[in-house]
Amino acid sequence: MDRRTFIGSLAVTALIGPRTVPAESVRNVHRIGFLAGTSRDAQPHLIDAFEAGLRERGYVPGANIVIDYRFADGHFDRLPVLATELVDLGVDVIVTGLNPGVGAKRATATLPIVMAASFFPIEDGLVASLARPGGNLTGFAQETGAEVSKRLQLLREVVPRLTRVATLSGAGMSYNPYFLTTLEEAARAIGVTVLPFEIRNVEEVNQAFVDMERARADGLIVFGGPVTLEHRSAIVGLAALKQLPAVWSDRERVIDGGLMSYGADVADLYRRAAGYVDRILKGAKPTDLPIEQPTKFVLAINLKTAKALGLTIPRSLLLRADEVIQ
């Protein structure tokens, strides 16, 4: 166990306390493993939403449920090891915002895994179908394709002369080809060229923006995933520095200073994931729980950022926005 994991374990132990559960009620305490590719600081709102969902269903962390958190801090090669740690701890279910093929699925083929927010789960070979996933995986699909095309449409409304759109995604993510194929099909229909860039670390983020400028990109679409989430601050800052209009999938990036976002309310997915955990703890089998799709989508626009980029947001777009940051 490395220092970060050790300290994280101490923190969780300190929170739950060794004596918070009376000895006679130990059998009633469930244990959940939570696996993330990012650092804890990258997703506090998602953790809060998940724990809120548990409380809504009568589970109190530290009383009748224990949550073992594991964060890879952007070091994705550590995910299989962290997933195996959770399996060895004897957790009842693993919750993850990752496509489990990069970690949890390799560690176990039997322990239930709830995907709080997966990308293209059918295309990525995670499940047989949304209605009947099969195996030990179930949960929620954050992206299935239509959202990608929508972001291109929104960017075109803000930048009418858009001819070259760059994309930024985490290198090695198995679902990247599906993001890219979907976007390229939509881009061809309106005469836009797609310029794909992948990143692993902050140095590659810097280089990607240099290359985007050389390629004369008119706009940027940031694909969702743990890598872009981990390097969100650098991406937001460089997009502003390079005067490049960028569209994200997550409204939190617009709050951080990004121009615009369109996508599922991911916090809502994490809250709903707690419901699947509840059903599994009560005896439901993952194979019988369908993969659900988002029911809430958020279009957010940052007018301060638009002004800094010299852009005028069409009134028709502002009227459709769910959140406008002045």
Each domain of the chain, given as residue ranges in start order, spans 3-142+266-288, 146-264+297-325
- Consecutive H or E run containing 276: helix 266-281
Q: Would you place residue 75 in the very low, low, confident or very high pLDDT band (cuts 50, 70, 90)?
A: confident
What local confidence, expressed as pLDDT, does residue 15 receive? 37
What local confidence, expressed as pLDDT, does residue 252 receive? 92
129: Cα within 13 Å, side-chain hemisphere: 3
What local confidence, expressed as pLDDT, does residue 16 receive? 39
pLDDT digits (tens, 9 = 90+) for 118-155: 999 998 888 989 999 989 999 999 987 889 999 999 99
- Domain 3-142+266-288 fold is Rossmann fold (3.40.50)
What local confidence, expressed as pLDDT, does residue 174 receive? 87
- Consecutive H or E run containing 115: strand 113-119
- Mean pLDDT on 262-268: 95
Same fold, 3-142+266-288 and 146-264+297-325: yes
What is the average pLDDT value for the chain, to the nearest integer? Answer: 89
CB 104, CB 35: distance < 8 Å? yes
- CATH class of the region 146-264+297-325: alpha beta
Q: Would you place residue 18 in the very low, low, confident or very high pLDDT band (cuts 50, 70, 90)?
A: very low
- Count the helices and strands in the chain (H runs, E runs): 13, 12
Of residues 80 and 245, more confidently modeled: 245
Could you write out the DSSP letters of every residue in 71-88?
E-TT-GGGHHHHHHHHHH
CB 43, CB 253: distance < 8 Å? no
Instruction: Classify 144 as helix, strand or coil.
Output: coil
Can you list the alpha helix ranges (DSSP code H) found in 190-231? 202-214, 226-230
Q: Would you place residue 102 in the very low, low, confident or very high pLDDT band (cuts 50, 70, 90)?
A: low
Amino acid at 117: A
What is the DSSP pairing of strand 297-302 with strand 260-264? antiparallel
CA distance 227 to 246: 17
- Mean pLDDT on 227-248: 96
All residues at 6 or more sequence positions from 173 whose CB lies less than 8 Å from its CB, including other chains: 99, 102, 119, 225, 227
Amino acid at 90: G
What local confidence, expressed as pLDDT, does residue 101 receive? 62
Instruction: Classify 243 as helix, strand or coil.
Output: coil
| pLDDT score of 232 more than 70 | yes
CB 203, CB 145: distance < 8 Å? no
